[in-house]
Amino acid sequence: SCHTGVTQWIAACSGLLQTTAVRGQCRRMLHGIFQRCKAGQFRLSKSSDGLIQANGAITQQIRSFYNTNKHLSATDSLQPSEEKVGAFTRIIEAMGFTGPLKYNRWKIKVAALRMYTCCVEKTDYEEFFNRCQMPDTLNSWFLVAQLHVWMCLVRMKQEGRTGKYMCRYIVHCMWEDIEQRGKVMGINSVVLKEDLRSMAENFYAALFGYDEGILSDDHVLAAALWRNLFNRNCEDPRHLELLVEYVRKQVQHLDALSGEDLLLTGEVSWRPLVESNARSILKPLSPVYNDEGL
């Protein structure tokens, strides 16, 4: 009966045993429990309370705001529901073509253009430059714009095949806009071509860094922002703290938007860079569109 009780108790406390900091203590306590069990001095409840108190003391030291020490696995993360497609659709998509989508492709392209427009027109770039001490250049503008574009890509990839199709045109609109802005600024065509190539390399590298940061704790996200947004040039850690808080609250804000509305309208709103209560997740107003999806 003692062995049966120990087995049940271990199964009940299996969650506590996952804490790395108390593994050695757990082993010593379990060894003592088995020794007392042989000597007829089995006191299960007292040892269990001590283990719970030890684990609770360590858990209280973990910061609960915008931080997690548990890395999301493939089963834990929120995955978009896989759409069931036929064999013909899988064949043509394997050849590089796009199969039937949930909505008309023209509507999706218009929504993608509108979403990118929200990234560049509804963002206060002057506030970013002043608070983060960034130079007012085309490259600084691109670094701030790509951060907002990445957050839109993260949100739209949750909408299945249609959302991924929309992501392609959001990125396409971004490169078209950057090229036009460079020409308006009078940048030499050869220099502009080299700048676009460098921006493309930085953009796709930043996507991996930001994805890793949003799935990890604040330290990893801050490192990604330091490398990509600040170009490894940030002397004030408060700037990194401000941007980490900004990214976390914006991603939560975008998750509150309806996927149907985003696919049909592409309207995105952004929360302020600095606000008094950053934890509050405000439910945005749903956009209004007609029967044509406009």
Q: Rounded to whole angstroms, how far apart are CA atoms 234 and 134?
A: 9
Asked if residue 182 is part of any domain, the answer here is yes
d(CA 258, CA 242): 27
* Structure-block tokens of residue 188: 């030499």
Between CA 294 and CA 288 the distance in angstroms is 8
Residue positions counted in the chain: 294
Backbone angles phi, psi at 170, to 5 degrees: -65, -45
**Of the spans 75-79, 161-165, 249-253, which averages the highest pLDDT?**
249-253
CA 102/CA 215 separation, integer angstroms: 28
pLDDT at 83: 61
Q: Mind listing the pLDDT tens digit for each residue in 99-134?
A: 557 778 888 899 999 999 999 999 999 999 999 889
Q: Give the span between the Cα atoms of 33 and 39, in whole angstroms.
A: 10
Q: Is residue 144 part of a domain?
A: yes
Confidence (pLDDT) at 177:
94
Residue 6 located in a structural domain: no
Q: Is residue 235 part of a domain?
A: yes
- DSSP, collapsed to helix, strand or coil, labels residue 144 as helix
Q: What b-and-e string marks burial along 126-165, b requiring 16 or more CB atoms within 10 Å of the CB?
A: eebbebbebeeeeebbbbbbbbbbbbbbbbbebbbbbbbb
From the CA atom positions of the chain, what is the Rg in Å?
A: 26
pLDDT tens figures, 154-190: 999 998 888 888 999 999 999 999 999 999 988 888 9
**Does 87 map to a domain?**
no
Distance CA 223, CA 226 (A): 5
Say what the pLDDT of residue 159 is: 86
- For residues 224 and 113, the answer to whether their CB atoms sit within 8 Å is no
7 by Cβ neighbours in 10 Å (0-12 / 13-18 / 19+) ranks as exposed
Decide: helix, strand or coil at residue 11. Answer: helix
Into how many domains does the chain fold? Answer: 1
Q: pLDDT at position 167, please? A: 93
What are phi and psi for residue 284, nearest 5 degrees? -75, 155
Three-class DSSP category at 257: coil
Q: Which domain holds residue 237?
A: 102-273
How far apart CA 38 and CA 40 sit, in angstroms, is: 6
Residue 13 buriedness (CB in 10 A; 0-12 / 13-18 / 19+): middle
Instruction: Answer yes or no: is 57 within a domain.
Output: no
Considering the domain boundaries, does residue 30 fall inside one?
A: no
Q: Indicate whether 150 belongs to any domain.
A: yes
Q: At what angle do helices 160-184 and 138-156 cross, to 10 degrees?
A: 170
- 89 touches 147 (CB < 8 A): no
First to last CA, the chain: 71
Q: Give the pTM.
A: 0.65
